[in-house]
Amino acid sequence: MAFTLPPLPYAYDALEPAIDKETMTIHHGKHHQAYVDKLNDAVAADASLADHSIEDLLAGISKLPKAVRNNGGGHWNHSLFWELLAPAGQGGEPSAELAAAIDADLGGMEKFQADFNAAGAAQFGSGWAWLIVQDGKLKVTSTPNQDNPLMDVADEQGAVVLGADVWEHAYYLKYQNRRPDYLKAFWGIVNWNKANELYAAAKG
């Protein structure tokens, strides 16, 4: 079973002005498609990789080819990222459970957002900022390249609740070098309904 590009769950211009239509069109249709295509090439080249879920591949990524790490991570990260965004006003609010955990584990929403943005801004080169559940508690972390907290190579492993792509391809057309401005705008288009679902599953 080949991996496929999931359709974007909203129109390419639906996240404007936070993320512009051209960025979304290229990001989804070119960058994510390329991760899918190269992941399929890498899996097709090694019979032992056939018929594994993407999550299975990521969990044992230290033993797999670099092309699977880069492109499998790219495919999983982007598939989730599209779902973690929603047009402004349509993403709901943090659930009572998630909000309580942000207060208890991360010092409240304001400090959490500042720490998340700092993690994204401080990630050297390309990568991702994450909110994860680790040993039952929320934690803010980041990964380089297309790594993620599901990978056995990640410094901080856990279940993802929220993530932000901080590769330049995610923001450069509109924000140029101003990654912090992009991260600030990110909070206006977070799909909290999806984050709530992921948090409940991680705690379940």
Contacts of 17 (CB under 8 A, 6+ apart): 185
* Distance between CA atoms of residues 195 and 113, nearest Å: 14
* Distance between CA atoms of residues 85 and 64, nearest Å: 30
Using CB under 5 A as the binding rule, whether residue 147 contacts Mn ion is answered as no
Using CB under 5 A as the binding rule, whether residue 130 contacts Mn ion is answered as no
Q: How many helices (H) and strands (E) does the chain have?
A: 9, 3
Q: Looking at residue 83, what DSSP letter applies?
A: H
Q: What is residue 9's three-state secondary structure?
A: coil
User: Which of 91, 112, 165, 190 touches Mn ion (CB under 5 A)?
Assistant: 165
Using CB under 5 A as the binding rule, whether residue 128 contacts Mn ion is answered as no
Would you say 181 is a known binding-site residue?
Answer: no
The widest CA-to-CA distance across the chain, in whole angstroms, is 48
70-109: contacts with Mn ion (CB under 5 A):
none
Interface with Mn ion: number of residues (CB under 5 A): 3
Q: How far is the CB of 31 from Mn ion (least distance, A)?
A: 5
Would you say 169 is a known binding-site residue?
Answer: yes
Would you say 75 is a known binding-site residue?
Answer: no
**Which segment (17-25, 134-142, 147-155, 162-170) binds Mn ion by CB under 5 A?**
162-170
Contacts of 68 (CB under 8 A, 6+ apart): 39, 42, 43, 49, 57, 61
* Distance between CA atoms of residues 189 and 17, nearest Å: 10
Q: How far is the CB of 78 from Mn ion (least distance, A)?
A: 6
User: Which of 112, 167, 171, 175 touches Mn ion (CB under 5 A)?
Assistant: 167
Which token pair is 123? 């990630």
**Which segment (36-44, 94-102, 137-145, 163-171) binds Mn ion by CB under 5 A?**
163-171
Q: How far is the CB of 6 from Mn ion (least distance, A)?
A: 14
Q: How far is the CB of 169 from Mn ion (least distance, A)?
A: 5
In the complex with Mn ion, the residue whose CB is nearer, 19 or 161, is 19
170-199: contacts with Mn ion (CB under 5 A):
170
Would you say 52 is a known binding-site residue?
Answer: no
* Distance between CA atoms of residues 88 and 86, nearest Å: 6
Catalog residues that contact Mn ion under the rule CB under 5 A: 165, 167, 170
Annotated binding site for Mn(2+): 27, 78, 165, 169
